[in-house]
Amino acid sequence: MDILLSVLDSPITKWVVLIFLLVMPLASLLTWAERRQSAMMQDRLGPNRANIGPIKLMGILHFVADALKMIGKEDYVPPGAHRALFALAPILAIVPVFIAFIIIPFGPTIYPHSLFEVINAYELRNAIETEALSAHGAFQDAINLQIYEVEYGLLFYFAVLTLANYGATIAGWASYNKWALLGGLRASSQMMSYEVSMGLSLVAVFIAMGTLEPGAMVGWQGPNPMNWGWAIGLHAGWPVPIGVVAFVVFFTAAIAETKRPPFDMPEGESEIVGYFVEYSGLRWGIFFLAEFVEIVFIAAVITTVFFGGFHVPFLYEDGFRFAGWVLYLPHIVVVLLQVLAFGLKVVFFCWLQLAIRWTLPRFRPDQLMRLGWMRLLPIALINTMVAALIAIWW
Amino acid sequence: MAKQHAEPQTPPHSRAEVVSVSEANPKVRTIRVARPAREESSFLPATLKGLAITVKHFFKNVTTKADIETISYPEEKPPYPARHRGLHRLMKREDDTVRCVACMCCPTVCPADCITIIPAETDDDGVEKYPAVFEIDELRCVVCGLCVEACPCDAIRMDSGLHAPAVEERQDGIITKDEMLALGGRSIAVQGGISEEWRQDQPQNPRDEFPHDREGAPYGRPAKTWRNQS
């Protein structure tokens, strides 16, 4: 039993569960959703024919066909390319995203000894405050559904995801192709520009919540939707909707970070040649997949910071509590509901990103730079300053 | 003419202001374009407006599929026009023998030389000949319909509503008499003509005959190739 619990509590188990049960299936499904959703938005049917025998699943199997196709393609390295860096670039694009997932709390803390009982919220809070969790029989061996809990949580995300930037740039450079190089430069200039406003937009939230640690941010938000990150500045009588502004700026910058339309100058799949023009087969497939994993990750960060993470509205540790009305639920039901809520929120924000991608046309490069440096950055800075002033004087 | 020497006008874009006009060519002007208003340049209202439209379509199509224009081709087929020329078929008499009398009108008129008829004699005194072999090379056929026009006894028609199917070998593109007969129906025309009473029984409006005309055509039935129908 102890061994089982320690295995379950190990970061590797959680990472495998998170990546293989949530992230990879979602990213693969997104390749399907991208096509079917865009079709539905444009009054078409979209691909619905891929099948294994009679099993069609509304075309979901297309991603299997895609994968098989990419495996079967010629793995071509252009003459003159830097072979090592050419091979490294796709890995650099996808690995940072997988690593960054470790800071995301994808579910609540599980107390395996009271799975089928209603948790006593008062005792739990006392135990947490007195740091006597392990001494309390019911709360021993707690499993926190967050892989890496550090004080500098979201800074870790910014630091790691910056590395994905190198993936695009190196891919462009190592291809020994002028157009790929130009695409890589467009990618790096765009990602550099938007990383600034992306980071600064969250600083206001950091100030309001007083923490950088995603788990603590989720705890700060709690199950009441009016206390979630987006509502900072609305409920406390503050004069500025800091949360809404931060959300809009962060969301815009994050879409630019994923290098997808309307910010897809680095690739410009159909018109301008992008940084992975020389890539074929699975190497290209990894870039493709990295893009979708990034979408999932952005959705996870937005969920965590602005929309209460795994919290279901009004669902506390022991059950629903709403305006004096209480419904007690066993711990395992609460945990399952909360993990499900996290998944659904992530799915929703993935859907929203796809909807935006199929709504807007591509920006011009000068519009892109103007939006990034002259609109988002000042807004993020002012938002941060207002949050700081409020934190000092309010 | 008049436009070339007209006074310089403000372009339809109302925000543009004409600064100067070239003397050599009045069409060449320097204009000052006012930049978009702030709510426009922030992109946010426009984005939300666009999202409202696309998301409305998304939910409408996901729930009811009301606006979807796609036709799932092999299962659903778009209606063809009534005079669509498809794969040839050979019509039959009342006793299910071929109506064709091997008069050789259609191979004569065929601009693509795709019809092969080998006539043979028959004991029937009324018709004398019948086609022992009747083959059409659908790969050569230009679908002009002249064979149908030329046929004096309503034996060949192109109203099957089927396309010539894709084949792997050239010889598979040749459609034989049996295959065309399998597509064929019975014609209401009577060989050699009938007595006067027939004309009195007919409806006054010739258009009313149209449904009978298409009797037996496989048009509108579930998809089948002509090959597996034989």
Check pLDDT > 80 for residue B195: no
**Does an H or E element contain A194, and which?**
helix A178-209
Give the Cβ contact number of residue B188 at 10 Å. 13
Amino acid present at B158:
M
Which residue in chain A has the smallest CA separation from B49? Answer: A359
Check pLDDT > 70 for residue B201: no
Domain for residue B98, yes or no? yes
Cβ contact (<8 Å) for A43 and B55?
no
- Residues from A in contact with B at Cβ < 8 Å: 37, 39-45, 248, 355-356, 358-360, 371, 375
- Provide the pLDDT for residue B196: 59
- Are residues B93 and B170 located together in one domain of the fold? yes
- Are residues B131 and B203 located together in one domain of the fold? no
- Provide the pLDDT for residue B143: 93
Contacts of B52 in chain A (CB under 8 A): none
Contacts of A356 in chain B (CB under 8 A): 47, 51
At what angle are helices A331-357 and A24-41 packed, to 10 degrees? Answer: 50
Which residue in chain A has the smallest CA separation from B74? Answer: A49
Cβ contact (<8 Å) for A40 and B62?
yes
- Provide the pLDDT for residue A268: 79
Confidence class for position A298, pLDDT limits 50, 70, 90: very high
- Give the whole-angstrom CA distance, residue B9 versus residue B7: 6
Cβ contact (<8 Å) for B57 and A375?
no
Out of A36-40, A95-99, A136-140, B167-171, least confident range = A136-140
- Are residues B138 and B203 located together in one domain of the fold? no
Domain for residue B147, yes or no? yes
DSSP 3-state assignment of A110? strand
Residue B60 CA to chain centroid, in angstroms?
A: 31
Out of A148-162, A339-353, B1-15, B153-167, least confident range = B1-15
Contacts of A39 in chain B (CB under 8 A): 70
- Are residues B178 and B123 located together in one domain of the fold? yes
Cβ A143 vs Cβ A110: under 8 Å: yes
Mean model confidence pLDDT for chain B: 79
Higher pLDDT, A231 or B221: A231
Cβ contact (<8 Å) for B47 and A359?
yes
Distance from CA of A44 to the nearest CA of B (A): 5
Cβ contact (<8 Å) for A40 and B61?
yes
**Does an H or E element contain A98, and which?**
helix A83-100
Task: Among B39, B43, B64, pick the best mutation site for testing chain A contact (most A Cβ within 10 A).
Answer: B43
Contacts of A37 in chain B (CB under 8 A): 58
- If you search the block for the tokens 């010889």, which residue do you land on? B171
- Residues from B in contact with A at Cβ < 8 Å: 41-44, 47, 50-51, 53-55, 57-58, 61-62, 67-70, 72
- Provide the pLDDT for residue B225: 43
Check pLDDT > 90 for residue B54: yes
Strands B16-21, B29-33: pairing kind: antiparallel
Confidence class for position B67, pLDDT limits 50, 70, 90: confident
- Give the whole-angstrom CA distance, residue A390 versus residue B10: 50
Backbone angles phi, psi at B130, to 5 degrees: -145, 160
Mean model confidence pLDDT for chain A: 89
Task: Among A35, A40, A357, A377, pick the best mutation site for testing chain B contact (most B Cβ within 10 A).
Answer: A40
> Residue A60's closest CA among A33, A40, A87?
A33
Check pLDDT > 80 for residue A66: yes
Q: B78-97: buried (b, 16+ CB within 10 Å) or exposed (e) per residue?
A: eeeeeeebbbbbbbbbeeee
Of the candidates A45, A360, A375, which has its C-beta nearest B68's C-beta? A45
Cβ contact (<8 Å) for A359 and B58?
no
Domain limits for position B97: 89-183
A223-232 average pLDDT score: 88
- Are residues B134 and B179 located together in one domain of the fold? yes
- If you search the block for the tokens 């009004």, which residue do you land on? A314
- Give the whole-angstrom CA distance, residue A378 versus residue B175: 74
The total domain count for chain B is 2
Domain for residue B153, yes or no? yes
Interface pTM (ipTM) of the complex? 0.87
Which residue in chain B has the smallest CA separation from A40? Answer: B58
Of the candidates B44, B51, B67, which has its C-beta nearest A355's C-beta? B51
Q: For the domain that residue B169 is a member of, what is the CATH number?
A: 3.30.70.3270
- Are residues B215 and B171 located together in one domain of the fold? no
Cβ contact (<8 Å) for B54 and A358?
yes
- Give the whole-angstrom CA distance, residue A162 versus residue A23: 20
Domain for residue B6, yes or no? no
Which residue in chain A has the smallest CA separation from B56? Answer: A41
- Are residues B148 and B208 located together in one domain of the fold? no
**Does an H or E element contain A173, and which?**
helix A153-174
Question: Which contacts (CB < 8 Å, 24+ apart) does range B208-215 have?
Answer: B210/B82, B212/B188, B213/B188, B214/B159, B215/B185, B215/B186, B215/B188
- Are residues B139 and B208 located together in one domain of the fold? no
Check pLDDT > 60 for residue A202: yes
Contacts of A44 in chain B (CB under 8 A): 68-70
Cβ contact (<8 Å) for B57 and A360?
no
Contacts of A377 in chain B (CB under 8 A): none
Domain for residue B3, yes or no? no
- Provide the pLDDT for residue A240: 79
- According to DSSP, the residues that pair with A252 across neighbouring strands are none
Which residue in chain B has the smallest CA separation from A357? Answer: B51
- Give the whole-angstrom CA distance, residue B134 versus residue A162: 74
- Are residues B143 and B221 located together in one domain of the fold? no
- Are residues B101 and B170 located together in one domain of the fold? yes
Domain for residue B167, yes or no? yes
Which residue in chain A has the smallest CA separation from B51? Answer: A359
Contacts of A374 in chain B (CB under 8 A): none
Higher pLDDT, A133 or A11: A11
Gyration radius from chain B CA atoms: 31
Amino acid present at B98:
V
Of the candidates A37, A359, A375, which has its C-beta nearest B51's C-beta? A359
Give the Cβ contact number of residue A123 at 10 Å. 12
Q: Kindly report, residue by residue over B93-132, the tens digit of the pLDDT.
A: 878 888 899 999 999 999 999 999 999 998 876 778 999 9
Check pLDDT > 80 for residue B190: no
Of the candidates A37, A355, A375, which has its C-beta nearest B42's C-beta? A375
Gyration radius from chain A CA atoms: 22
Check pLDDT > 50 for residue A330: yes
Cβ contact (<8 Å) for B58 and A37?
yes
Of the candidates B43, B50, B72, which has its C-beta nearest A45's C-beta? B72
- If you search the block for the tokens 């050699």, which residue do you land on? B192
Distance from CA of B70 to the nearest CA of A (A): 5
Domain for residue B137, yes or no? yes
Q: Kindly report, residue by residue over A145-180, the tens digit of the pLDDT.
A: 888 888 888 999 999 988 888 889 999 999 999 999
Domain for residue B189, yes or no? no
| Segment of A133-137, A280-284, B162-166 carrying the highest mean pLDDT | A280-284
Contacts of B53 in chain A (CB under 8 A): 359
Distance from CA of B223 to the nearest CA of A (A): 18
- Provide the pLDDT for residue B221: 42
Q: Kindly report, residue by residue over A71-96, the tens digit of the pLDDT.
A: 999 989 999 999 999 999 999 999 99
Distance from CA of B48 to the nearest CA of A (A): 9
Residue A212 CA to chain centroid, in angstroms?
A: 16
Task: Among A43, A370, A377, pick the best mutation site for testing chain B contact (most B Cβ within 10 A).
Answer: A43
- Are residues B127 and B158 located together in one domain of the fold? yes
- If you search the block for the tokens 């300053």, which residue do you land on? A385
- Are residues B140 and B216 located together in one domain of the fold? no
Cβ contact (<8 Å) for B68 and A42?
no
With left for phi above 0 and alpha for psi between -120 and 50, is residue A309 left, alpha or beta? Answer: left
Which residue in chain A has the smallest CA separation from B68? Answer: A43
Q: Kindly report, residue by residue over B208-218, the tens digit of the pLDDT.
A: 554 444 444 44
Question: How many Cβ pairs within 8 Å bridge chains A and B?
Answer: 42
